[in-house]
């Protein structure tokens, strides 16, 4: 029935496209606003993590090596900084991909939701690893004052938690509507 014509010689897809032009425009506007705001956040994280990769906590010694090079917390700082940089770069590229999309009706089915899911997931991961890097840097810098470690780590969890509480439902809804069971069939779509 998908290819059948009605009295006006239109397929069901043609009728749906005509009747939902306003919905496409609203979807495009929402997708662009979401991508723009997330692009700003991802770009800020890329900038911060890039500069943090070269401005080591504690500074450098006379040979130019980081002072805390032999500490395990420094290794944690560097690894989480690098992961945050790469995941925020991935997020930034996904959101830029959304902004430069053509926003055709079929793009709303697979391409745009997939980019938004990858972008939001990478942004979540980036923010979490950025806070880990921050906590590790603070613990390295304040190594003689162990009483402040726990409050620093707890405070670093607040932005991650807030972002997840605000944006995680959107991510779950996007995953469910894109890869969940379709309306007319009981089986889920493949992820790849």
Q: pLDDT tens, 18-72? A: 777 787 788 889 889 989 999 999 999 999 999 988 887 777 787 878 878 888 8
Q: Give the pLDDT score at 110.
A: 81
Rounded Cα–Cα distance for residues 88 and 91 (Å): 5
Burial environment of residue 186 by CB neighbours within 10 A (0 to 12, 13 to 18, 19 or more): exposed
What would the mean pLDDT of 120-129 be, rounded to a whole number? 92
For the chain, the distance separating the N- and C-terminal CA atoms, rounded to the nearest angstrom, is: 27
Q: For residue 187, name the pLDDT band (cuts at 50, 70, 90).
A: low
What would the mean pLDDT of 101-108 be, rounded to a whole number? 79
Q: For residue 1, name the pLDDT band (cuts at 50, 70, 90).
A: low
Q: Give the pLDDT score at 63.
A: 81
What would the mean pLDDT of 179-189 be, rounded to a whole number? 62
Tell me: pLDDT of 186 over 80.
no
Can you list the alpha helix ranges (DSSP code H) found in 71-186?
72-99, 111-141, 149-179
CA angle 54, 55, 59 (to 5 degrees): 120
* Distance from chain centroid for Cα 151: 27
What are the Cα distances from residue 189, in Å, to 39, 109, 116, 153, 176?
A: 28, 12, 17, 40, 10
Q: Give the pLDDT score at 190.
A: 55
Q: For residue 85, name the pLDDT band (cuts at 50, 70, 90).
A: very high
* 165 Cβ neighbours under 8 A, 6+ residues apart: none
Q: Which of 2-11, 22-31, 35-44, 134-143 has the lowest mean pLDDT?
A: 2-11
Burial environment of residue 63 by CB neighbours within 10 A (0 to 12, 13 to 18, 19 or more): exposed
Q: Higher pLDDT residue, 121 or 180?
A: 121
């Amino acid at each position: 029935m998908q290819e059948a014509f009605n009295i006006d010689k239109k397929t069901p897809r043609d009728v749906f496209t005509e009747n939902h032009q306003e919905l496409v425009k609203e979807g495009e506007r929402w997708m662009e606003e979401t991508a723009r705001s997330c692009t700003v956040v991802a770009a800020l994280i890329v900038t911060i993590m890039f500069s943090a990769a070269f401005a080591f906590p504690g500074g450098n010694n006379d040979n130019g090596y980081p002072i805390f090079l032999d500490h395990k917390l420094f290794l944690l700082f560097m690894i989480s900084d690098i992961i945050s940089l790469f995941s925020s770069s991935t997020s930034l590229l996904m959101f830029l991909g959304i902004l430069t999309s053509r926003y055709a009706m079929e793009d709303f089915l697979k391409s745009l939701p997939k980019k938004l899911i990858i972008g939001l997931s990478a942004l979540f991961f980036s923010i979490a690893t950025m806070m880990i890097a921050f906590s590790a840097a603070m613990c390295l810098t304040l190594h003689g004052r162990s009483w402040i470690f726990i409050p620093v780590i707890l405070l670093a969890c607040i932005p991650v938690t807030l972002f997840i509480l605000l944006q995680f439902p959107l991510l779950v809804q996007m995953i469910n509507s894109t890869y969940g069971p379709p309306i007319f069939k009981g089986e889920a779509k493949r992820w790849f």
